[in-house]
A and B are shown apart, each in its own frame.
Chain A
């Protein structure tokens, strides 16, 4: 093992957990630990533990457990994972974002797992801890053993032993393991925190992807649409609390994506629901899209500010730091306004009514042309139509085309992408994956082009806003002007790359695959049967 390349997490002390047998009295166990195992007892401690993870369980998903520990003596961030103690860091306060972690390897490893998500408290417990150590004749610690009683809400505590080995002293560990086996202590198969999570009903798995549903090809289109829209409603509600509290920017992002998907589906599946009933909901979801926009835009600029700073010479990049203050200030006020609206009666009524609508049983007979048709037919026809539109609009774009044409194509691509994702379960997985990947590379180019134009306008807007609020110094102004110039240059480059991306998307294999999966037979839809060749 020596000399072999190990992962960054393979060096920490090994942590082993043992169950304390019910038949052995505590006093007797301690006697044996001190007597037969030769351990010394240190002063006991009481600790308050807050288990932390992101909303998508980024830490637990990588076999990790992160605990913020507070005792009378100190505050620590403890990270266990892969059977080892990864870190035990003194820390002033409970960390929330990656920026609150130290810039060390351990901090970077945690930050990599968290990404832009916040650490949220999953569970709070209390620990009574009796610590024992094995010392050598120089009083050097060779291993530690904690006898822990840990409880949630003063319920009956979980009792377990935690053994922490130390690198370079394998014999001490072996001796203790033998000693514990003689006491009847058996190794626990997993970190005991999982039992606490189970007791307290804490979800340790992330929620499944929103579109993890089963659609049958023969399902009625209105039933399938209700199922999809219901999942999207669930996704909005799941992200509502985090959006209201602004726990991290991903809650609002995911909330908005669900709103956008809902609007897209409502706009595209015609003849499935009565138009007069949909009208109100379509308007309401458009309202949701518009009220969530300003906060999201500011979130994005705050998240990407370091990238903008990195594009500028270092002094100008530093000057742009003043923009952060401006953005933070405005984000806070937009967020307050948004929370008021999303926490208000209008949103609640919309969701209640929408829930009632989606729960309605499908009518036995429908006068609507597509409601009772098999979903595979309605979906396929719509996807084929959108695909043809994308090809038509893309082919019409030349070097002289105005930006609006690319913007329209971008919207068509997005609609097509959503359709592929809504109905992916009806088609072979590998085919949909390939088509989405091909579409995505085109969308990325179109998205970048659009974003760069919007960003230039936004930064011009920020200049004006900062000037009005007396926050615009000469240095900041120069940095913003330079940044807008750089964005314009990049916009021109991205525009030139469009042809290559579109050519790749409209290549014969992609067209053939679209046709083989979605092109209706002539009998089904003669007007759509035209070849896209």
Chain B
């Protein structure tokens, strides 16, 4: 099982849309996939119409009273399951601090799922914390949506300097441009400039699209309610193929 985390220190960059749409595409290709909605806001759970509630909350999971696979719910799509968010995840950092090896607790919880799934996709909340460290320790790759703006690039630099201080040997960084609006000069300029500086940036860019916003009202991945030829669907498919090639 490969663990992919959709992550960024900054919020509102398209993390949840990335996790949800890539997970859906993976399951369509026959990969047994599970999303863990780690964001207490529960946006991924909302998109799949699954109640953001885990019996026993974060504490129940960490103490082992409620094993993670008991929290798994099937989505409406074959081969795609979800571990819902829970409001108690807002205190996950505190709960983790009390455990032994606090930075490796989430990996421990996820291990029993390795026999069941091809991919576990984490939808992480936007910050850099003990939960994030757990994610870095557990994930095979970080999917990093970057809006081509100065602020977004700044948070990417912050993350890189964090990894300079705390190197992660086996963690693959897969940044890609997200919510791109080519009508904007800054977007065009940065998309031209940044890949030279950061060659790890993937070549697929996810455009800004009203279809992604419509996910909120439709409560479905874009591929379910859009044509297969729609540019946003094709962009996510191309991103998924690029990620698969990198793994």
Contacts and interface: CB of A to CB of B under 8 A. Distances in A.
A167 B74 contact: yes
B78 A104 contact: no
B30 A138 contact: no
Contacts of A106: 30-32, 79
Nearest to A13: B74
Given A2-B67, A138-B51, A140-B48, A104 B31 contact: yes
Interface stretch (B15-23, B97-105, B111-119, B175-183): B111-119
A109 to B, nearest CB: 10
Given A2-B69, A11-B32, A106-B32, A141 B76 contact: yes
Interface in B205-225: 219
Interface stretch (A86-94, A190-198, A218-226): A86-94
Residue among A5, A85, A102, A140 facing the most chain B CB atoms (10 A cut-off): A140
Residue among A6, A85, A87, A168 facing the most chain B CB atoms (10 A cut-off): A168
A169 B29 contact: no
A314 B187 CA distance: 39
A6 B70 contact: no
Nearest to A167: B74
Interface of B is mostly: loop
A13 to B, nearest CB: 7
B228 to A, nearest CB: 10
Interface of A is mostly: loop
B73 interface: yes
Given A8-B115, A105-B118, A140-B48, A167 B73 contact: yes
A168 B74 contact: yes
Given A3-B112, A6-B116, A167-B74, A104 B30 contact: yes
B116 A11 contact: yes
Contacts of B51: 138
A136 B29 CA distance: 28
Contacts of B69: 2-3
Interface residues of A, number: 30
Given A8-B115, A138-B49, A169 B74 contact: yes
A137 to B, nearest CB: 10
Nearest to B69: A2
A169 B81 CA distance: 12
A140 B49 contact: yes
Contacts of A13: 74, 78
A184 interface: no
A87 B30 contact: yes
Given A2-B67, A3-B69, A87 B76 contact: no
Interface string A134-165: 00101111000000000000000000000000
B30 A102 contact: yes
A83 interface: no
Interface in A368-397: none
A43 B100 CA distance: 53
B52 to A, nearest CB: 11
Interface string A5-18: 11110111100000
Contacts of B117: 11, 105
A302 interface: no
A12 B77 CA distance: 11
A90 B49 contact: no
Contacts of A517: none
Interface in B42-79: 48-51, 67, 69-70, 72-74, 76, 78-79
Nearest to B78: A88
A105 B34 CA distance: 14
Contact of A87 (B50, B79, B115): B79
A107 interface: yes
A103 to B, nearest CB: 8
Interface in B124-140: none
A75 to B, nearest CB: 13
B73 A5 contact: no
Contacts of A141: 76
Interface string B218-240: 01000000000000000000000
Residue among A5, A11, A85, A102 facing the most chain B CB atoms (10 A cut-off): A11
A70 to B, nearest CB: 17
A168 B117 CA distance: 16
B236 to A, nearest CB: 15
Contacts of B157: none
A6 B69 CA distance: 11
Contact of B28 (A90, A105, A167): A90
Nearest to A106: B30
Given A140-B50, A167-B81, A6 B115 contact: yes
Given A2-B69, A8-B115, A138-B49, A166 B29 contact: no
11 contacts: A5-B115, A13-B78, A87-B30, A90-B28, A101-B30, A102-B31, A107-B30, A138-B50, A140-B48, A167-B73, A169-B74
Interface of B: 28-32, 48-51, 67, 69-70, 72-74, 76, 78-79, 81, 112, 115-118, 219
Complex A-B, nearest 9 residue pairs according to Cβ-Cβ distance, in ascending order: A168-B73, A166-B74, A140-B49, A102-B30, A104-B30, A2-B67, A104-B31, A88-B78, A167-B74
Given A11-B32, A106-B32, 12 more contacts: A2-B67, A2-B69, A3-B112, A10-B116, A85-B78, A87-B30, A87-B78, A102-B30, A104-B30, A105-B30, A166-B74, A167-B73
Interface of A: 2-3, 5-8, 10-13, 85, 87-90, 101-102, 104-107, 136, 138-141, 166-169
